[in-house]
Homo-oligomer: A and B are copies of this chain.
Amino acid sequence: MEYDGTYFCGWQRQISDESAIFPGSNRIASTQCCNDTTQYSGVPPALNSVSSVPSVQGTIEKALKKITSHRILVEGAGRTDAGVHATNQVAHFDLPSGIKPEKLQLGLNFYLQPFCAAIVKLEEVAPTFHARFSAKARQYEYHIVNRPAPLTIRKNRAWHVSVPLDISIMQKAAGAFVGCHNFNSFRAAECQSANPIKTIDSFEILLLDGEIIGKVQAKSFLHNQVRIMMGTLVLMGKRKISSEIIPELLKAEDRSAAGPTAPAYGLYLTGVLY
């Protein structure tokens, strides 16, 4: 599926989505309007952070509820953050009855269209298929427009870096991320993964149609890993830090060693391999 991350709080279902899908749930009182942030007693504060921006997962689950009248849980291949786009997200769900895929796709797209999300392809898979656990690799692209003038058509679609970047420096540096490393320096403080060791299959920096594009593939990534790697490469492209120090930054195993987290709106989930 494809979505414009601008209009979502991210992939993951929020408590507000859940209350709408499971109105009988006693985990949170039902809120008809997302903007209704009235505090209900008995609800733990963490569960009561009602967001006015929908999640992708919750939006599909709501659409499935409308179509099938069933509570159907959707599993995605990867959780994208607020603002992050997807051109090829993959998700699966189990249907209780035999709705034809073509009919279901039309129905889902009818409900998803106002949210700027669409099911591009829908097909029946083996019961053993799992969007997340069957995935062999995830592919991401990070887009940068490097020029003094502000963005117009590419606003919310690419990171605007106004200071000139040396792409050849970034291209050489990116190679140091490839392979198996401890990426503790390159993950968000709130990252919940127990294991910071990840293997980057490939990481290329390209210049395409006037944009600098980082293309990266791995079996899986840590939270914000691609954005922190890109933020670090941009510091190198600006010649603010040496392009030789990626092995040192990895060795530090400390978030403060690496560069800033690049903005979410430049990132695209472009493929999931099975």
Contacting pair A157 B153 (CB below 8 A): yes
Contacting pair B87 A149 (CB below 8 A): no
Query: Is A136 part of the contact surface with B, judged by Cβ < 8 Å?
Result: no
Counting chain B CB atoms within 10 Å of each CB, which of A3, A87, A112, A149 scores highest?
A149
Query: Is A239 part of the contact surface with B, judged by Cβ < 8 Å?
Result: no
CA of A4 to CA of B148 in the docked complex: distance in angstroms? Answer: 18
From 115 to 141 in chain A, residues with beta carbon under 8 angstroms from any chain B beta carbon are 116-121
Q: State the copy count for this chain.
A: 2
Query: Is A155 part of the contact surface with B, judged by Cβ < 8 Å?
Result: yes
Residues of B within 8 A of A52 (CB): none
From 35 to 87 in chain A, residues with beta carbon under 8 angstroms from any chain B beta carbon are 85, 87
Residues of B within 8 A of A152 (CB): 2-4, 116-118
Residues of B within 8 A of A116 (CB): 152-153, 155
6 A-B contacts, Cβ less than 8 Å apart? A3-B153, A4-B152, A116-B153, A120-B147, A120-B149, A153-B157
